[in-house]
Amino acid sequence: MPEDELTALLALNRIDGLGCTGARFLYEQLGSAKEIFKCRDHLKELIPGVRQSLIEALDCSGYYSFVREELDFINRHGISCITFADEEYPARLKDCMDAPLVLFKMGNANLNALHMVSIVGTRKATEYGLAMCGSFVRELHRLCPDIVVISGLAYGIDIQAHKSALADDCCTIGVLGHGLDMIYPASHRSVAKSMLEKGALVTEFMSRTVPLRNNFVRRNRIIAGLADATVIVESKAKGGSLITAEIAESYNRDCFAFPGSVGDPCSVGCNELIRTNRAGLITSAEDFLSAMNWMTGTGSIPVQKQLFPDLSEEESKVYERIRLKAHGVHLNTIIVDCNIPYVKLTSILFTLEMKGLISALPGSVYKSL
């Protein structure tokens, strides 16, 4: 990416009150971050309703010094800046309207891996929860060797998910609520360092970002948006893991929870998610993989092409992927699983709709008929 565009993106990232949704709207309307600043004086003409305060905030002269320091920090520490224009930008996250325009990454993990799951839970986990999380990750990796485990590097279930993945040589990604110039909590620094060898640390925050509570709420949407599904191991009646589950639901992603004993404070949240049908009940990795149709070696039933003799090979491939999941498949999942470019895939999906084989649901989800 040209340095002037990256500089503009980093400056845009510093503007207070704009937010990811607003930044994305401007970016998509004008085509680049550089163009946003270039057209600052004419924004009201180009986009009716733009606030005067935003136009004043886009006077980025005060951001140049900070951005130069940030670019120097990025270069010195081998940090990858992944922007909306990059192929490496996670396709699953890109479909979320509040996705950040820039992600910062340290490590080697593929953010568009075929199978990605977020595992979160309470910071004050019980021995039962920690043991359940560990056995779930181990069994998950055994049955689905290319699985990528995502969590938030926090106390309790989060750090247990990362540790269990590392112990089993499984790729794991930590999503941070601050910049890559620090690790919070500091006691997890050694785990974070180990994750760089087979995994990654990812954040939307620039360096010198203080780890405030609200930042961790914001990072929960990245945890949910990067994955195909979110699994809650233990959760109290309120907490960040329930926020992550709510966000996953808003993104039309699958959500699952492990049940716990009635009356156990650390299981109240999970039991409520299950009771209200906001999360599927699972008790093992096999339950999860079966629900996601990720079980290997089970032998999926091939499409009976004699019933649809005019299906091409790629149309059959896409239809088979959609047909295997009763409640529908997200567009980004189909892109990753079938390895078909977005433009071509939308044409195939339209053809399958016209043939009466699938239907489009809200949220870019497709279901077989």
Predicted pLDDT of residue 247: 95
Residues 6+ apart with CB under 8 A from 37: 8, 11, 12, 58, 60
In eight-state DSSP terms, residue 238 is S
Predicted pLDDT of residue 144: 94
User: By C-alpha distance, which of 212, 275, 262, 273 is closest to 238?
Assistant: 273
pLDDT over threshold 80, residue 3: no
Peptide bond between residue 185 and the one before it cis (omega within 30 degrees of 0): yes
pLDDT over threshold 90, residue 229: yes
Predicted pLDDT of residue 20: 86
Q: Is the pTM of this model over 0.85?
A: no
Place of tokens 């595992």: 119
293's tokens: 């149709």
What is the distance between the alpha carbons of residues 142 and 140, in angstroms, rounded to a whole number?
5
Please state the rounded mean pLDDT for residues 13-39: 84
Which amino acid, residue 286?
E
* Phi, psi (deg, nearest 5) at residue 303: -65, 135
Residues 6+ apart with CB under 8 A from 154: 123, 185, 216, 240
What is the distance between the alpha carbons of residues 133 and 187, in angstroms, rounded to a whole number?
20
pLDDT digits (tens, 9 = 90+) for 337-358: 888 888 888 889 988 888 888 8
pLDDT over threshold 60, residue 299: no
Predicted pLDDT of residue 62: 64
What is the distance between the alpha carbons of residues 40 and 132, in angstroms, rounded to a whole number?
53
Please state the rounded mean pLDDT for residues 216-242: 94
Q: Who has greater pLDDT, 213 or 171? A: 171
Q: How many CB atoms lie within 10 A of CB 266?
A: 23
Lowest mean pLDDT among 88-92, 126-130, 140-144, 290-294: 290-294
pLDDT over threshold 90, residue 258: yes
